[in-house]
A and B are shown apart, each in its own frame.
Chain A
Amino acid sequence: MTLLTDETFGELEAIAARYPEPRSGLLPMLHLVQSVEGRITPEGIEACAEILGISAAEVSGVATFYTMYKRKPVGDYLVGVCTNTLCAVMGGDAIFERLKDHLDVGNDETTADGKITLEHVECNAACDYAPVMMVNWEFMDNMTPTSAVRLVDDLREGKEVTSTRGPRLCTWKEAERVLAGFPDGRVDEGPGAGAASLVGLNLARQNSWSAPSGGGAERKDKSIESGTAETKGGAVAQADTSRAETETEQEEGKKSD
């Protein structure tokens, strides 16, 4: 039995309409199918094929190529442990072993209560936070076996869990809907950057290091700037001068150290 409604069909068509050629919408359309059906179903494949005017075999071929598309039902929380080299070495292997044992599931399996699907994932572009886990594709940084067990226990108990540098976690189906291009209003949750992302910037601030002042206006905080120039040329001159002054002061300060 399919959960795809007329509304879903409307949304699938809307995705296809974002592109000059409708078939370009197939990847996000399959994300939407998962958000409704909980996996890629034969009905979902047929729906995409019908809307795009291609064969179900062509849609199937795409759905089986990409690892985010699941043929089996996924739990509320898709828990991924990075076991690519860097994370594995830093502890990802130990975390994955511990979770398999604790949850009594293997790779790509779901707990009996349907809450958690565990899988190992490849590099997720957060190596400076290794070892990294992902829950419904939100970052869980700097994990240990102990914190990983606590995380999955909290998820199974229905506690609200927040990404270490992101929003409150939603369910996997809700996440898939965002991937299909339907925002969920959580964009402003969480910080702009996590601690590791800021180490270089913090050092630069401490040492008053900056990119050289250029031929154009420095990007600086207008709210601090007094007497904003009326023309861009004036703004340029102003910004340059103040930056040059700041730099001169810093240089002198450094010399007298």
Chain B
Amino acid sequence: MTSTLTPVLTDIWDADQSWKLSTYTDRGGYAALDKALGMAPDAIVTAVKDSGLRGRGGAGFPTGMKWSFIPQDNPNPKYLVVNADESEPGTCKDIPLMMANPHVLVEGVIISSFAIRANKAFIYIRGEVLHVIRRVQAAVEEAYAAGHLGKDIHGSGYDLDVVVHAGAGAYICGEETALLEGLEGRRGQPRLRPPFPAVAGLYASPTVINNVESIASVPSIIEHGAEWFASMGTEKSKGYGIFSLSGHVTRPGQYEAPLGITLRELIDLAGGMREGHVLKFWTPGGSSTPLLTDEHLDVPLGFEEVVAAGSMLGTRALQLFDETTCVVRAVLRWTEFYKHESCGKCTPCREGTWWLVQMLTRLEQGVGEESDLDLLLDQCDNIFGRSFCALADGAVSPIQSSIKYFRDEYLQHLAEGGCPFDPMKSTLFADELEMA
């Protein structure tokens, strides 16, 4: 039987008190840990490599390969850092995962740390999700009490300590080297690479930084085998992943499916676009991934496939906007976000995002002329690829892609001297307002 959806990480989410250790172990949780502790660490790295698991935080770098870059002859301690700073606009998978199933993350942390021979791991969670932090703090405490963490785990002789670390509000700390700065008690500004964190990361020691969902996928790979994981997905994008649908769709939410599912299938599962409306534009993986349109409904949502369609898979954060939405307004708001979140280190990003907001604000108000669009694109060219990290590259994505697909809508703003859309029609409570 073919299963359209394949709940693995989400499978426990509807259980009573799903976040408790007892619920997790009743369903076979921490069995993969036993199995892993009986394996050679290198065999775990190989299994994760063979599974084809690619980073679930957006970049899609092969996780096992990342682990194999850790120089084991380096005398410094090795560290595992979990990037739980989920902040990319549209991305909303790790937060519900940690809220409902924190133990799968903790088990993944232990197995992954064992594989890279780290005795200390950190879970860096953005500070703005209080209850999620409570759940992860409690899961770590429960794991200590049960002997899954601490000294001589399960009698294996392996020791691991885990610290749950709350961030303090900075999108940039989702960038791995900025995250390390934050974790070292500094301003979250990205570092120049090389050296890469695998060689000189936390405290200039070999460090692996992985996304929550990547680490949480590890226990299932160890438990069921690399082949099992690789049996799902596409040729180069293996396994399952959580797809997050939001916006003008009938049933927004989380859909865990093999990579390669299409947006058409997902919208169908979600009950279609909201009644009486049609899809206008969407992001495949957060606001930093170029916009796509209804031309792209059948693109398989795998890493290479989405790149071939002119965007990126990113975090599978599918934000769907219908025909009531002004694309210029949407893009301006994202640009304001990038301006606000630019850490200020690199001039093209710090100054460039500021200029982009000025330009877009004028265009949205219908001020300017057609040549301003070319000026705007020229600014984008001068920003893209000229900073330490990818924040500025992300900032220009919505602008370039929206002008590519919706140039006429920009021009319409100029022709009409303002925005031709009624923002109230896009709201969730449009009907309520009409009645009022």
- Interface residues of chain A, those whose CB is within 8 Å of chain B, are 18-21, 23-28, 30-31, 52, 61-62, 65-69, 83-86, 88-91, 93-94, 121-131, 134, 136-139, 142, 144-146, 163, 165-167, 175, 178-181, 183-184, 186-188, 190, 192-205, 207-212, 214-223, 232, 247, 250-251, 254
Contacts and interface: CB of A to CB of B under 8 A. Distances in A.
Interface in B267-307: 269-270, 287
Give the one of B101, B269, B341 with max A CB within 10 A.
B269
Contacts of B18: 192-193
A245 to B, nearest CB: 13
Contacts of B375: none
B223 interface: yes
Contacts of B96: 193-194, 197
B340 interface: yes
Contact of A217 (B99, B223, B319): B223
Give the one of B12, B28, B32, B222 with max A CB within 10 A.
B28
The 3 closest A-B pairs by CB, nearest first: A214-B224, A26-B185, A214-B228
Contact of B35 (A69, A128, A130, A216): A216
Nearest to A222: B26
Interface in B235-260: 240, 243-248, 251-257
A166 B129 CA distance: 10
B72 interface: no
21 contacts: A21-B184, A27-B167, A62-B187, A65-B188, A68-B127, A68-B167, A90-B426, A91-B429, A94-B424, A125-B87, A125-B129, A126-B95, A137-B129, A144-B432, A179-B133, A180-B166, A183-B138, A188-B20, A199-B254, A210-B6, A219-B220
Nearest to B141: A183
Nearest to B93: A125
Contact of B131 (A23, A65, A190): A190
A219 B28 contact: yes
Contacts of B341: 122
Contacts of A137: 127-130
Given A89-B321, A200-B269, 9 more contacts: A23-B185, A27-B168, A86-B89, A127-B90, A127-B319, A139-B131, A188-B19, A205-B14, A211-B240
B429 A192 contact: no
Nearest to B424: A94
A193 B35 contact: no
A200 B100 contact: no
A221 to B, nearest CB: 6
B428 interface: yes
B247 A254 contact: no
Contacts of A134: 128
Contacts of A128: 92, 244-246, 252-254
A241 to B, nearest CB: 15
B334 interface: yes
Given A130-B428, A192-B19, A199 B255 contact: yes
A25 B185 contact: yes
A231 to B, nearest CB: 12
A86 B134 contact: no
A54 B128 CA distance: 27
A13 to B, nearest CB: 14
Give the one of A61, A84, A180, A188 with max B CB within 10 A.
A84
Give the one of B4, B5, B17, B240 with max A CB within 10 A.
B5
B432 A219 contact: no
B399 to A, nearest CB: 13
Interface string B204-247: 00000000000000001011110110011000000010011111
A94 to B, nearest CB: 6
B112 to A, nearest CB: 17
Contacts of B255: 199-200, 203
A194 B131 CA distance: 13
A66 B188 contact: yes
B36 to A, nearest CB: 11
Nearest to A68: B169
B423 interface: yes
B170 to A, nearest CB: 5
B177 to A, nearest CB: 15
A217 B166 contact: no
B11 A201 contact: yes
Interface in B8-40: 8, 10-15, 17-20, 26-29, 31-32, 34-35
B223 A209 contact: no
A127 B95 contact: no
Contact of A85 (B5, B7, B227, B334): B334
Given A89-B321, A128-B246, A216-B225, A84 B89 contact: yes
A134 B169 CA distance: 13
Contacts of B414: none
A201 B96 CA distance: 13
A134 B129 CA distance: 9
B27 A222 contact: yes
B169 A67 contact: yes
Contacts of A222: 26-28
Contact of A88 (B27, B333, B340): B333
A178 B166 CA distance: 9
B183 interface: yes
B144 interface: no
A201 B223 contact: no
Contact of B187 (A21, A65, A127, A142): A65
B131 A167 contact: yes
B87 A122 contact: yes
B27 A183 contact: no
B125 to A, nearest CB: 9
Contact of B4 (A62, A124, A146, A207): A207
A89 B254 contact: no
Interface string B411-436: 00000000000011011110011000
B77 A20 contact: yes
B61 interface: no
A212 B246 contact: no
Contact of A27 (B31, B134, B182, B317): B182
B400 interface: no
B100 to A, nearest CB: 4
A85 B100 contact: no
Contact of A178 (B5, B134, B163, B168): B134
